[in-house]
Each structure stands twice: as structure tokens, then as C-alpha cells.
Amino acid sequence: MSEKKVSEAISYRRSVRIFDADKEIDPQVVKSCITQATLAPNSSNLQLWEFYHITSDASLKEIAAACFNQPAARTAKQLVIPVVRKDLWKKRIASNVAFIKSEQKNSEEQEAKKTKGAIDYYQKILPKIYGIGNLRGWINHFTTLLKGVNKVVYRQVKKSDMRVVAHKSTALAAQNFLISMAGRGYDTCTMEGFDSLRVKKILDLPPATEISMIIGCGIRTEKGIYGPQFRVPFDEVYFEK
């Protein structure tokens, strides 16, 4: 199967609701597309995500039931579930710091300053943002509003703001996965209709985790695409300033 160019893969990708029951997909290809997902841009390179690749019949049936047995879940040959792991921020900070230290080329003053600045960012600034509690977050929010009257400030300072940031990063990774799958001639469907608590129990996930989406994977049928693609006129969403 020849790979598509990026622009071709984007055009080819559709939300496929019914997958061909007679056509299997290679789990190694899907796994390689998940690898591509992990190369996505993400906030502070914290990579607060995990990906669960569902291939066993028993697990597929269990998760499909938690997705209300909607066709995209029920007919999927495999499922991929991006999970938001905001709770791993301390571990990911440590990983980034270790990587920065290992990459330090020499002890020149300029390089040393750059390395120190990066490490300070991870060890001093990010913990204040990701370790924030609800009360402190709201205090920071109102303090930021006052400071922002006269200068540029970072305004995402509440606990709920960082949850949004983690979800955005995971969604970027999921988009990488969708396009990579389309590039290999495989089809997908992102689903938000599911019982998140039941899915977390099936995957044995900690309480602090959140399911970003569930992605059905397979090969499309003629009936799998429910109609021509609709997008609002481009001039309604594009603005040049």
C-alpha cells in the first residue's frame, strides 16, 4: 500500500462510521502511527499523554459497549485511546531536565546559561503552574487580571486552565495519528460518546486520568461515510489582519 502525501492524507481522512468486517488492519502499522502521534507539538514538551492500543476481541467488545455500541466502535477492527495524564507532570519535568543535562555539549558560558535557563524553567516555573490548587489558582487569576492592566502577562494560571492545556496537547497528538493512518490508507473515527468512567475501569487507569477521545480504526465501507463532507464557507473562518 503506497503512502499518501500529507495534503492527500488530509483530504482522504473522513470520519468513518462503519468499518469493513472482512478487512483486517495491521496492528504494527497502527502502532507506527501512534509513534508518529508522539512527535506532535505539545505544551512545554511535557508530553502529558498515553495511548492505549486495543486489539483483543474481548477488550474491543467491552469498550464498544461503553461507547453505546455505536457503529464506529462496534465495527472497529482496533481502537486507539489517547489518555490525558496531567498527573504525570512531575515525572515529565524530571525527564526533560535529565535530557537537557545529557545534551549539554560543553561548559562554555553561553551554553551554560542557556542550560541553566531551561532547567530553571522546568524546576521553578512549571511546578508553580501545574502544582496549583483550586484556591491558589483563583487568587492567581485575580492577581493576574490586575497586573495585566498595564503589562503583558500569562493568564492561564488556574488549575482548570492547565487541564485545558493538557487536553489541547493530547488532541494535537491524536490529529497526528489520524493523518498518519490516512496516509497509510487506513480509516478512523473519533468518538466522544462514551462512558468515561467505565472505559477508565476497563483500562485500569488511575482516577486523575482523563480520556481525550476514543478512535475507531479499520477500512471504510461505502456506507461508512454518511454523506459528502460539509464545511462552512472558508471566508467565515479565515481572517487576515
**Rounded Cα distance, 183 and 7, in Å:** 9
Looking at the fold, whether 150 and 213 belong to one and the same domain comes out as no
Cα(177)–Cα(33) distance, integer angstroms: 5
Examine residue 68 and state whether it is found in any structural domain, yes or no: yes
Q: How far apart are CA 211 and CA 190, in angstroms?
A: 12
53 and 11 part of one domain: yes
Would you state the pLDDT for residue 143? 82
- Provide the pLDDT confidence category of residue 22 given band limits of 50, 70 and 90: very high
Average pLDDT (75-95) is: 98
Tell me, yes or no, whether 66 and 104 share the same domain: no
Q: Considering the domain boundaries, does residue 237 fall inside one?
A: no
Residue 111 lies in a domain: yes
Per residue in 34-78, pLDDT (tens digit) is 999 999 999 999 999 999 999 999 999 999 999 999 999 999 999
**pLDDT number for residue 3:** 87
Classify residue 233: in a domain, yes or no.
no
**Mean pLDDT of the chain, nearest integer:** 93
Q: How high is the pLDDT of residue 1?
A: 64
The last residue of one of the domains, among 160, 175, 191, is: 160
Together in a domain, 13 and 83? yes
Cell output for 35: 509513534
* Cell output for 104: 549539554
The answer to whether residues 18 and 71 touch, using CB atoms and an 8 Å cutoff, is yes
CATH number, residue 54? 3.40.109.10
Co-location of 115 and 96 in the same domain: yes
Q: What is the pLDDT of residues 192-213, one digit of tens each?
A: 999 999 999 999 999 999 999 9
Asked if residue 221 and residue 132 are part of one domain, the reply reads no
Containing structural domain, residue 141 = 89-160
Residue after which a domain boundary falls, among 103, 129, 160: 160
User: How far is Cα 136 from Cα 157, in angstroms, rounded to an integer?
Assistant: 9
The pLDDT, as a whole number, for residue 94 is: 97
Inter-axis angle of helices 57-66 and 196-203, to 10 degrees? 160
Mean pLDDT of 110-121: 86
What is the band of 106 on the pLDDT scale with cuts at 50, 70, 90?
A: low
In a domain, 56, yes or no: yes
Per the structure, the count of domains in the chain is: 2
Please tell me what DSSP assigns to residue 123.
I
Same-domain pairing of 94 and 144: yes
Residue 119 CB neighbours (<10 A):
16
pLDDT at 13 over 70: yes
| 188 and 82 together in one domain | yes
Kindly report the pTM of this predicted structure: 0.92
Grid coordinates 497586573 are at which residue?
147
pLDDT digits (tens, 9 = 90+) for 1-10: 678 999 999 9
Same domain? 179 vs 210: yes
- Residue at 102 is within a domain: yes
Residue 140 has pLDDT above 80, yes or no: no
Phi-psi region of 137 (alpha: psi -120 to 50; beta: other; left: phi over 0): alpha
| Together in a domain, 176 and 77 | yes
The count of other CB atoms within 10 Å of the CB of residue 121 is 15
